């Protein structure tokens, strides 16, 4: 088992400068997908990134196909593939709070910074160089495998839905879009928005905006208050720790900015939520409509217990329920919620509970999207092979994991996530200063090369 492990390690060590240079190329492409563009289907940045991937695949001698700029793939040899490795080259927007240029790869103290370094450009480059190493070292591959890059994973995976209609996946599929050792259980997902009318009192919130996307904990909020003094607001925020605050008075109104910490909504414990932080403060000030919301979305409660949720099971662990967007404009209050729920629950069950709670507080749901949980038996050959590879490369015990993150294979039966980050890491995925350590990047290279070899025997 893993008879080429040392040769691969030596190869990656000697080629690491070249590999990092390639990562810099794809990081520099601002590939935030969009439907609102003259370049179809997902905008110029997405198309440019897919072209970069296609050119690289061709340079490896792979037979490539561009599926109408939804996705591209490359086959290693002739014949039907027995394995597909799936990743994406689009990213979420850069957002604010970066210490470095998000679209310029920065290497400092053994850390590689840039938007996409962990999700999913870094892992994609690791897959490409895994293929290059196999080719350059003349490692025999008995069966064909396919590398697939998509261009709109962050926008809802319409890319891969379209792609699979034309090119069905083989039996074995893994994605470097999750966590090591093997992520075989992904919680269900609900994204919903709600709205309600404001009391529109003279004393209260005139304008508010917290959060930019529904799947990230909001790290910044801006607000305008009337009838409330700076001291009153400071007193209301006194016990809300960790936030940076800035105030100024304009035309008799109090304008403020609150800065917390953004992170992926599936791991809300890694962030500091400005939406719930402000809800807590507004509740202390007696602002009625926000007081009602603060009883549902309690600052520091990540499981939705106050709503009547807070479920968990032995396979999935605890669920999460996060207020990720909150805004007020004129007489309307609007919000967005990200929920990750266990495999023993259904989206309709969760929906009924939160709908009832919101309606009792004077709010109505305006949109609702969901995915049911994804689970693959830990004893299946794909999972067992990947666990064996993990143990052989890292020397650590390989175990299956369950998480709230929705990976690229969530809707692909039998497919799992294999990396790219380790469970003890916080790589600021979807947040400022997203990064991957050089050690983790090298581990990606070795793990993916060995996995491809073992799964194509």
Q: Higher confidence at residue 201 or residue 264?
A: 264
Architecture of 188-371 per CATH? Answer: 2-Layer Sandwich (3.30)
Rounded percentage of the chain residues whose pLDDT exceeds 70: 99
User: How far apart (Å, rounded) are the C-alpha atoms in residues 95 and 102?
Assistant: 9
Alpha carbon distance 407, 154 (integer Å): 10
Is cis: bond before 159, omega within 30 of 0? no
Average pLDDT for 113-138 = 98
DSSP-based three-state secondary structure for 33: coil
Q: Quick check: helix, strand or coil at residue 421? A: strand
Residue written as tokens 């983790």?
440
The model's confidence at residue 44, banded by pLDDT at 50, 70 and 90, is very high
237 pLDDT higher than 90: no
Strand 188-197 to strand 364-371: parallel, antiparallel, or no bridges (unpaired)? antiparallel
**How many Å apart are CA 341 and CA 72, to the nearest integer?**
32
Architecture of domain 5-186+375-455: 3-Layer(aba) Sandwich (3.40)
| Statement: residue 201 has pLDDT above 70 | no
Distances (CA, A) of 155 to 35, 67, 89, 116, 176: 9, 17, 12, 14, 18
Burial of 55 from C-beta contacts in 10 A (0-12 / 13-18 / 19+)? exposed
Contact assessment for residue 96 and residue 64, using Cβ atoms and an 8 Å cutoff? no
Structure tokens at 381: 């050959």
Q: What is the band of 202 on the pLDDT scale with cuts at 50, 70, 90? A: low
pLDDT at 330: 83
Say yes or no to pLDDT of 200 above 70: no
Question: How does DSSP assign 94-139, residue by residue?
Answer: --S--SS-TTS-EEETTEEESTTTTTTHHHHHHHHHHHHHHHHTT-
Does the pLDDT of residue 339 top 70, yes or no? yes
pLDDT confidence bin for 95, thresholds 50/70/90: confident
Q: Where in the chain is the domain with CATH 3.40.630.10?
A: 5-186+375-455
Give me the pLDDT at residue 156, please. Answer: 86
Query: Residue written as tokens 């790869």?
Result: 105
């Amino acid at each position: 088992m893993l008879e080429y492990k040392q040769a691969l390690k030596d190869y990656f060590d000697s080629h690491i400068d070249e590999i990092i240079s390639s990562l810099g190329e794809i990081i520099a492409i601002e590939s935030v997908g969009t439907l609102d563009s003259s370049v179809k289907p997902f905008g110029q940045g997405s198309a440019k990134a897919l072209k970069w991937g296609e050119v690289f695949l061709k340079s490896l001698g792979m037979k490539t196909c561009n599926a109408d700029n939804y996705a591209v793939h490359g086959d290693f040899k002739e014949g039907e593939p027995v394995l597909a490795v799936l990743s994406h080259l689009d990213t979420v927007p850069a957002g604010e709070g970066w210490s470095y240029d998000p679209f310029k790869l920065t290497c400092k103290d053994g850390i590689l910074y840039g938007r996409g370094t962990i999700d999913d450009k870094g892992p994609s480059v690791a897959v490409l160089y895994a293929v290059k190493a196999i080719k350059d070292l003349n490692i025999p591959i008995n069966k064909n495998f396919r590398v697939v890059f998509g261009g709109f994973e962050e926008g809802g995976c319409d890319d891969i839905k379209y792609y699979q209609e034309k090119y069905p996946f083989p039996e074995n599929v893994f994605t470097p879009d999750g966590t090591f050792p093997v992520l075989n259980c992904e919680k269900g997902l609900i994204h919903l928005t709600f709205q309600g009318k404001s009391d529109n009192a003279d004393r209260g919130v005139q304008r508010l905006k917290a959060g930019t996307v529904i799947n990230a904990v909001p790290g910044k909020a801006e607000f305008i208050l009337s009838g409330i003094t700076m001291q009153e607001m400071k007193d209301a925020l006194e016990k809300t720790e960790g936030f940076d605050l800035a105030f100024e008075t304009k035309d008799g109104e109090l304008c403020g900015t609150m800065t917390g910490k953004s992170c992926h909504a599936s791991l809300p414990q890694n962030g500091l939520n400005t939406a719930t932080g402000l809800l807590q403060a507004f509740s202390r000030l007696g602002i009625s409509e926000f007081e009602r919301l603060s009883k549902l979305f309690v600052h520091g409660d990540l499981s939705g217990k106050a709503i009547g949720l807070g479920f968990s099971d032995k396979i999935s662990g605890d669920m999460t329920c996060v207020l990720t967007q909150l805004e007020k404009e004129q007489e309307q209050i609007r919000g967005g919620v990200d929920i990750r729920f266990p495999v023993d629950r259904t989206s309709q069950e969760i929906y009924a509970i939160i709908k009832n709670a919101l309606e009792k507080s004077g709010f109505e749901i305006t949109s609702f999207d969901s995915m049911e949980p994804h689970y693959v038996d830990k004893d299946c050959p794909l999972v067992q092979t990947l666990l064996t590879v993990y143990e052989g490369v890292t020397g650590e015990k390989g175990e299956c994991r369950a998480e709230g993150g929705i990976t690229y294979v969530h809707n692909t039966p039998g497919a799992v996530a294999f990396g790219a980050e380790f469970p003890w890491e916080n790589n600021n995925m979807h947040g400022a200063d997203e990064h991957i350590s050089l050690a983790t990047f090298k581990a990606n290279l070795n793990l993916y090369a060995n996995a491809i070899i073992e799964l194509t025997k």
